[in-house]
Amino acid sequence: MKLTRQEEIALLFASELARQQDVFVPLSDIAGTHGVSVLFLKKIALCLKKHQLVISREGLNGGYKLGRKPEDISAWDIFTAVSGKSSGTENVSGNFKCPLHSACLPQTIRLLISEAFRRYVSDVTIDQFVKSEKHI
């Protein structure tokens, strides 16, 4: 399983917002800290906003903050928001369809791995990233 750059940065973005939970954080602050393009972050922020994972405020003291508590946002929520579909599993299962029948062994294996990945990543929440960072 390999995360896309967009998925990685979306997790980073959400984790940064979780670290500064009670304030609106400008994209430029996060971009500067992590060497990410503001335009790329804005694209990610808009995807997360569309899924109500973040909220924004314009103007002085504006920026973004989480739309829910960090413990209520899973990595799967983030993946789904930035990919526009049920993400994460594409890297595991691809678009493979058995040409012979729907229950062929390779397809069954891919589907089982995809489902296990989805269940696991759904249990990983943004607050865990922030908590684990303090122990490293």
Q: Is 52 left (phi over 0), alpha (psi -120 to 50) or beta?
A: left
Distance (Å, whole) CA 93 – CA 76: 16
User: Which CATH number goes with the domain that contains 62?
Assistant: 1.10.10.10
Query: pTM of the predicted model, to two decimals?
Result: 0.80
**What percent of the chain is modeled with pLDDT above 70?**
82
Distance (Å, whole) CA 39 – CA 83: 17
Q: What is the mean pLDDT of residues 115-125?
A: 93
Q: What is the pLDDT of residue 91?
A: 44
Q: Is residue 92 part of a domain?
A: no
Q: Is residue 105 part of a domain?
A: no
**Domain interval for residue 19:** 5-85+125-134
Q: Is residue 104 part of a domain?
A: no
